[in-house]
Amino acid sequence: MRSVGSVPVRHSTLALAASLFALVTFTLPLLAPTRAAASPETLKRSAGNILFAPLDIAASPFTAGKALVTNLREADDPQWMRIVFPVPGYVWMLGVQIGGGALREVAGLLELVPGLGLLFFEADLDPLFDPVEHNEALVDLETPPLRIKFGVNYVASPSPSGRSAESRD
């Protein structure tokens, strides 16, 4: 038996063979074909947020006005509140709507990289900005490639089922 340094050659050859066997044994299952069940939901949500957030911001004057009228109708406020509230309330709701649209854009950008990473796995990331999923919107269409939803009312409380009050009736 020949030795290299203090390690006999036979032991180093045996260790190399064992390491190679372990490497093949543990990596072979990773190379086996699997069922194609990728989940594009995070990527679809990200794309929807990136594409439709600017429309949320553009529709914010109308959405804020609609939310104000709805709140004035449904609230049980005294008459003086209904007279004083509309002007400052509209300004506040307009700011909330614009801010909600901006946060939707940021959430879409933040979900883009995980969405690409999760595309090949059976996993999904919870929404980073939940109001888009649950609040009512001016336009809400579920299409196969993408959910078209914009004009989201960020001021309203989310409906339990994620659908607007009109579609529940």
Which tens digit of pLDDT belongs to each residue from 139-167? 999 888 888 999 999 998 776 654 444 44
Per the CB < 8 A criterion, the answer to whether 153 and 162 are in contact is no
* Residue 153 vs residue 120, higher pLDDT: 153
**Partners of 147 in the beta sheet?**
142
Which amino acid does the sequence have at 6? S
**0.85 cut: is pTM over it?**
no
pLDDT in tens, 89-112: 999 999 999 999 999 999 999 999
Amino acid at 14: L
